[in-house]
Chain A
């Protein structure tokens, strides 16, 4: 009797999982923010870990140019954030590090696809001074070197896998990190000789980390989609923020952070 009651309770709970989606519209059909009603109030922006520094800068600029708005960021692995949105976490804007992850969210929704706002490529990150003497992608196959890669379950890991396949190299990693910042952290702490991370992460890490370019990086270009979540509690501000990111001001910050334009 009680068991049946419990089961019903759980069925009811699971049934309330909301249908969510992305409602980013083509740029041209949206009037610039501020033209009609002014954007105001708080929005929650979930963004891929690799966007941390750039989005914090964009967020500060947005709040200055849109008085009365407040942006709360949550940065993390795109897949984790997507899972949170699908589970009903409050979110107004979602920016992912690759398209398949965004698709898991849009597939639950009503609106068409999200908008690509930036691209990113991988770069070899080594600790300052390059103590491991890493010179290129071939060093990732050297078992005597300590190597961190992203796990293949997350976007930076997928990109790395593509690159190693194209380059015909079998990497010998010592650890498979669950997001790109974790891989970078190991480089920063000088606990690994090299990691494969986004170019933007190397720039953001400053003097602790050096970047090494390699030819194959062009074979895996990550495209970053952004969208306003369709059941946003503050759709006006959410849309204004998305427009700001794809607009000239947002793009200037992103380009300075090392992102490519779409």
Chain B
């Protein structure tokens, strides 16, 4: 199965017109060369010292935990929203879809300030919460997750919505005709149908959450152990030790590539 697919790909590749191949190659180089630059310039002799540093380990741990939690929240909230956009046929969906893409074009730092206005200690919802309970989101790991969900959710919604739009809705109609309730149709027919789309969206959301910087440093602050994720650690290291910053970037890169490869093999390919 796999070899046949490879064979087919190779045959196709032989026919790729150079008008497509040249820009494709350029795009590939443009994406890969900077990563290569990281690898070449990273101070490898210091590698062990940098990546076993307590602060680095702490930041990596926080990054992995928060990005994973953010991805799960994005899935729980985002898949239903995507379904609403693609299937509900409610009026005003075009406007809604445009609103959802706003966090994509918003500079993340602005996103952080926007989160303050709602969920900060003096924010619209944050103030009553703070006055009632004494709890405020900023400078806690919850704020890191909130910032990450804010920037990552649109990626998941858009990719799941795309999958829903291209999925054949006749299966769902057939199930409904046969008497399945809407929720049963969703969980037994729709969800398996768009599985790869959900998986791809989740991976995108996870990756975006892992790399989140601007909204996090603004809304969650920067404190080791509670809010200093890997990107913040790298940024701070750049201030004093650019070599360590490069090495930390390589570490983050390696861990994320490893996770993505594992996910791909164990999860995405199942569909």
5 A-B pairs with CB atoms under 8 Å apart are: A6-B33, A10-B36, A189-B113, A190-B120, A192-B139
Residues of A within 8 A of B229 (CB): none
Partner of B223, one of A10, A176, A190: A176
Interface of B is mostly: helix
Could you tell me which residues of chain B, from 217 to 271, have a CB within 8 Å of some CB in chain A? 217-218, 221-224, 227-228, 232, 235-240, 242
Tally of chain B residues near chain A (CB < 8 A): 29
Contact B222 A153 (CB under 8 A): no
Residues of B within 8 A of A16 (CB): none
A191 within 8 A of B: yes
Residues of A within 8 A of B218 (CB): 182, 185
A148 within 8 A of B: yes
B154 within 8 A of A: no
B132 within 8 A of A: no
Residues of B within 8 A of A7 (CB): 40
State in angstroms the CA–CA spacing of A217 and B176 once bound together: 74
Residues of A within 8 A of B121 (CB): 146, 190-191
State in angstroms the CA–CA spacing of A153 and B233 once bound together: 11
In the complex with contacts A10-B40, A191-B116, A191-B122, A175-B239 CB distance below 8 A: no
State in angstroms the CA–CA spacing of A175 and B112 once bound together: 15
B37 within 8 A of A: yes
In the complex with contacts A83-B238, A189-B122, A177-B221 CB distance below 8 A: yes
In the complex with contacts A10-B40, A175-B222, A182-B217, A154-B120 CB distance below 8 A: no
Partner of A175, one of B37, B113, B221: B221
Contact B222 A177 (CB under 8 A): yes
Partner of B221, one of A10, A83, A174, A190: A174
State in angstroms the CA–CA spacing of A80 and B223 once bound together: 19
Most buried by A among B41, B120, B136, B223: B223
Contact B223 A154 (CB under 8 A): no
B201 within 8 A of A: no
Residue of A nearest to B237 (CB): A153
State in angstroms the CA–CA spacing of A7 and B36 once bound together: 10
A 86-126 binary contact with B (CB < 8 Å = 1; else 0) = 00000000000000000000000000000000000000000
